[in-house]
Structure 1
Amino acid sequence: MSYTLIFDMDGTLFQTDKILELALEETFDYLRLEGLWEKTAPVEEYRTIMGVPLQVVWETLLPDHPNDIRAKVNVIFLEILIENIRAGKGALYPNVEKVLDYLTTKSYSLFIASNGLPEYLAAIVDYYKLDRWIKETFSIQQIESQNKSDLVRTIIEKYDVEKGAVIGDRLSDIQAAKDNYLLAIGCNFDFAQQDELAQADEVIDDLTQLKDLVATLQL
């Protein structure tokens, strides 16, 4: 039986932190020019909610702004993120390619399930050629509920998944695994919260640990 491993993207495979601050600063520069923002860009506040859908991001960071402004800001932010990815300003986490290659040779089926938008995810997959190992990348935008548990269920149903794990850094990843009776592997990386990781079945500090973990666990 082929085991399935479903990866989160931001804060799990991709070091979003490397392009996040620059993109936020440029986005909020636009708001300042429009007279819609006076303070510094809320970088630290974004870090605490990293991994939620972008709609929730702008509802949180811009609670007093109308939806049309949030929509415009979202477009600007996404464009800047993609420009930075294509310019090579981002980075995968250490050993991502080595680990994905190893898992593929061991016949694991690999997928990505992310709260990121399709264009953003495609930019990362294309730049780093992740489709060498990843069978398919799924965005939260593909499902009406905007719920990661439902997104993971989409993968399970499409590919007849029976056993596997969800690997991610935030509670939505852990919950998605548990709601779908998969193993929850928490990544203690940049955006991880210790109270959330405490709910995972297993926690790793480096992706290389995944090689031994999946080999010894009965998923």
Structure 2
Amino acid sequence: MRNEMRLYKPEAMIFDMDGTLFQTETALLPAYHQMFDILRAEGLYTGETPPERLILGSLGMLLEEIWKIVIPDADENVRSRANDLLLDLQLEVLKGGEALLYPDVKETLEQLRERGVRLFVASNGLEGYVKGVSDALGIASLFESQYSAGEYQTATKVLLVEMLLNAHNVRSAWMVGDRSSDVQAGRGNGLGVIGCAYADFGANKELEDADVKITKFGQLLELYDNAPSA
């Protein structure tokens, strides 16, 4: 943990989606296995489904980087089909009501909004996935805007967050996320960084440079209320 007094009360908070707001595995893993069943049926993939740990350990990366780890020998056509399938199948799981937010996410976001905090999402995922998750789980209306690498074609989350800050004239913010890409996005834009250390698939060492680590999403309220004004 760094010096907590660096954290002044922010105008806005920017949230990662997977492993921060959303229990990704509740939609991802059923879709992941269905995806490989379809790829095999279509003759695009042979062999066993790669271990779940490969995709869970890759969350937070851009999709092109994820597939290099999960299906390194697959060509671009297979990876493109995997992108489309995984998105569609996860959205189907979401519609079925089986996917879950982390505990207290919606309530905490609502209370932050009541305190006047501007709320945003910045994710390395596809646009349809990011907005589909927030729509299906009833939190879309709480965000001023949702930014995704899939929509804006940014090479890094640092650039994605920079674009968000400039577009919405955000002068101070906390970046809230569970992966090193979130820490880098915050650090690269001079933001306070809150590391979410509750996702089972996150590597805690990725959050070593966060200002504060939280083990429950609801702790954000206490951090905000106790932070001094700039």
Range into which the TM-score falls when normalised by the shorter chain: over 0.9
Between the aligned partners of 1:35 and 1:166, the Cα distance in structure 2 is 39
Q: Find the partner of 2:208 among 174, 198, 201.
A: 198
Between the aligned partners of 1:142 and 1:32, the Cα distance in structure 2 is 29
Between the aligned partners of 1:52 and 1:30, the Cα distance in structure 2 is 24
Kept in 2, the 8 Å contact 1:13–1:93? The answer is: yes
Letter paired with 1:194: N
Confirm or deny that 1:165 pairs with 2:174: yes
Letter paired with 1:10: D
Confirm or deny that 1:216 pairs with 2:223: no
Shift of 1:2: 6.3
Q: Deviations over 1:101-127 (max 9, x none)?
A: 110010000000011111111211212
TM-score of the two chains, using structure 2 as the length reference = 0.90
User: Residues 134 and 201 of structure 1: is their aligned pair in 2 closer, same or farther, counting only changes over 3 Å?
Assistant: same
Confirm or deny that 1:131 pairs with 2:131: no
1:104-123 equivalence runs, <5 A: 104-123=113-132
Letter paired with 2:25: D
Aligned to 1:32: 40
Unaligned residue ranges in structure 2 (runs of 5+): 1-8
Confirm or deny that 1:20 pairs with 2:40: no
User: Residues 46 and 132 of structure 1: is their aligned pair in 2 closer, same or farther, counting only changes over 3 Å?
Assistant: same
Aligned to 1:147: 156
Kept in 2, the 8 Å contact 1:143–1:150? The answer is: no
Q: Find the partner of 1:52 among 39, 61, 64.
A: 61
Shift of 1:129: 2.7
Q: Deviations over 1:141-161 (max 9, x none)?
A: 233432101110111101111
Q: Deviations over 1:12-59 (max 9, x none)?
A: 001111122111111111233326221233211111111111121112
For 1:49, what is the secondary structure of its paired residue? coil
Between the aligned partners of 1:59 and 1:199, the Cα distance in structure 2 is 26
Kept in 2, the 8 Å contact 1:163–1:182? The answer is: yes
Confirm or deny that 1:63 pairs with 2:72: yes
Between the aligned partners of 1:2 and 1:216, the Cα distance in structure 2 is 12
Between the aligned partners of 1:173 and 1:117, the Cα distance in structure 2 is 16
TM-score of the two chains, using structure 1 as the length reference = 0.94
Kept in 1, the 8 Å contact 2:193–2:211? The answer is: yes
For 1:181, what is the secondary structure of its paired residue? coil
Q: Runs of 4+ in structure 1 displaced over 6 angstroms?
A: none
Between the aligned partners of 2:137 and 2:30, the Cα distance in structure 1 is 20
1:82-121 equivalence runs, <5 A: 82-121=91-130
For 2:23, what is the secondary structure of its paired residue? coil
Kept in 2, the 8 Å contact 1:58–1:74? The answer is: no
Kept in 1, the 8 Å contact 2:10–2:174? The answer is: no
Unaligned residue ranges in structure 1 (runs of 5+): none
Between the aligned partners of 1:59 and 1:168, the Cα distance in structure 2 is 23
Number of residue pairs matched by the alignment? 219
